[in-house]
Structure 1
Amino acid sequence: MTDSSKLLYRTVLPAGAHWSLRLRRGTALRLTDIRGGANVGMLFYNPENLLERYNAPDTMKCQHTFRLTTGHCLYSDMGRIFCGIEQDSFGWHDTVCGTMNAQLTEQRFGASDYQQARNDRHQNGYDSFLVELTKYGLDKRDLAACLNVFSRVSADEQGNLRLESPALPGASVTLRFAMDTLVVLHTCPHPLSQAGAYPRSPVEIALPADLAPLPEACLTREENRRGQANNALYYLGTIAPAGTIAPAGTMLGDSHAAPAQECHHD
Structure 2
Amino acid sequence: MSLTSSALSADSARFSHTIPAGEPYLFEVKAGQTLRLLDLQGNQAIDTLFYSAANPRERYDPQRTLRRQNNAYLTTGSVLYSNLGQALLSIVADTCGRHDTLGGACAQESNTVRYAHDKRYMHSCRDNFLCACLHDGRLNKRDIGANINFFMNVPVTPEGGLTFEDGISAAGKYVELKAHKDVIVLISNCPQLNNPCNGWNPTPAQVLVWD
Q: TM-score range by the shorter chain?
A: 0.7 to 0.9
Aligned residues: 200
8 Å CA contact 1:100–1:191 kept in 2: the answer is: no
Runs of 5+ unmatched residues, structure 1: 114-121, 211-266
Look up the SS of the partner of 1:156 in the other structure.
coil
Closer/same/farther in 2, CA of residues 145 and 196 from structure 1, 3 Å limit: closer
Task: State how 1:49-128 maps to structure 2 within 5 Å.
Answer: 49-105=55-111, 107=115, 122-128=122-128
Cα distance per residue 1:171-222 (max 9 Å; x no partner): 11001000111111111146983479852221111112x4xxxxxxxxxxxx
Aligned residue for 1:202?
204
Look up the SS of the partner of 2:155 in the other structure.
strand
Aligned residue for 1:188?
190
Closer/same/farther in 2, CA of residues 164 and 140 from structure 1, 3 Å limit: same
Structure 1 runs of 4+ with >3 Å offset: 103-113, 189-192, 194-198
Closer/same/farther in 2, CA of residues 132 and 207 from structure 1, 3 Å limit: same
Instruction: State the TM-score, normalized to the length of structure 2.
Output: 0.85
- Between structure 1 and structure 2, the one with the greater Rg is 1
Superposed displacement of residue 72, structure 1: 0.4
Q: Which residue identity does 1:133 align to in structure 2? A: C
**Alignment equivalent of 1:35, drawn from 41, 46, 56:** 41
8 Å CA contact 2:43–2:197 kept in 1: the answer is: no
Closer/same/farther in 2, CA of residues 24 and 137 from structure 1, 3 Å limit: closer
Alpha-carbon RMSD: 2.6
State the percentage of identical aligned residues. Answer: 28
**Alignment equivalent of 2:173, drawn from 148, 171, 179:** 171
Cα distance per residue 1:99-151 (max 9 Å; x no partner): 001354474796698xxxxxxxx531001111122223322211110011001
Instruction: State the TM-score, normalized to the length of structure 1.
Output: 0.68
Closer/same/farther in 2, CA of residues 85 and 63 from structure 1, 3 Å limit: same
Q: Which residue identity does 1:63 align to in structure 2? A: Q
Closer/same/farther in 2, CA of residues 195 and 155 from structure 1, 3 Å limit: closer
